[in-house]
Amino acid sequence: MEPQDRSYIESLVRAIPDFPQPGIIFRDITTVIKDAKGFTIIMDDLVDRYREQNIDYVMGAEARGFIFGAALAYAIGAGFVPARKPGKLPAQVLSASYNLEYGSNSIEVHKDAIHKGARVLLVDDLLATGGTAKAMTQLVEELEAQVVELAFVIELEDLKGRDLLAPYSVYSQLTYWNLDSIAQDRANLLEAKARSSFCLLWNP
């Protein structure tokens, strides 16, 4: 993605503080996909990257992964496979679990979703801790297919999801840090420096 295009997309991403819980900055991509130019930039970048990689299937994670995954599959001439939350698929499924902060969840695909030896690209809007994406790689492996790469619109680097996904190749279009934690660290440092200066000034 060209720097000017990345800057344009970044200008569209809406940051919502303290959602879904205090201290988290939620990166809202609905403001990107409603913008025709922004959505086109996102998709053109993905299409350019994967058009010549002989992808058989694009697997998208519920729910926002469907938006980018299905559009990409159409553009590169691949099939689209939805990876869904439990109880959403009607036929026989394979399931893989992943950990949450409190408890666990799982994601499922149909047992006949992809054929043995297929080249599969995994797509989602966000890479955070990497649990969902890791579960998707496990499903692909169980079906004896190959994970070509994992692609994300946004990656939250400080949550180290990329580390969990090693040794798979990971591509992200935009990267962010948890700015709340960084801002708090800076505030704590400034407060400590201020206290130190005050003690020095008033030390008899």
DSSP H helices, the chain, are 3-12, 30-33, 36-50, 64-76, 131-142, 161-165, 179-202
Lowest mean pLDDT among 13-17, 42-46, 68-72, 97-101: 97-101
DSSP designation for 84 = B
Residue 203 has φ and ψ, to the nearest 5°, of -75, 120
* pLDDT tens-digit series, residues 151-167: 999 999 988 999 999 99
Q: 189 pLDDT exceeds 80?
A: no
Confidence band, pLDDT 50/70/90 cuts, at residue 188: very low
Q: Is pLDDT larger for residue 90 or for residue 179?
A: 90
Measured in Å, how far apart are the chain's first and last C-alpha atoms? 60
Q: 187 pLDDT exceeds 50?
A: no
Known catalytic residues?
Answer: 64, 101
* pLDDT tens-digit series, residues 79-119: 999 999 999 999 999 999 998 755 689 999 999 999 999 99
Entry pTM: 0.85
In this prediction, residue 101 carries a pLDDT of 57
Q: Enumerate domains of the chain plus CATH numbers.
A: 3-178 (3.40.50.2020)
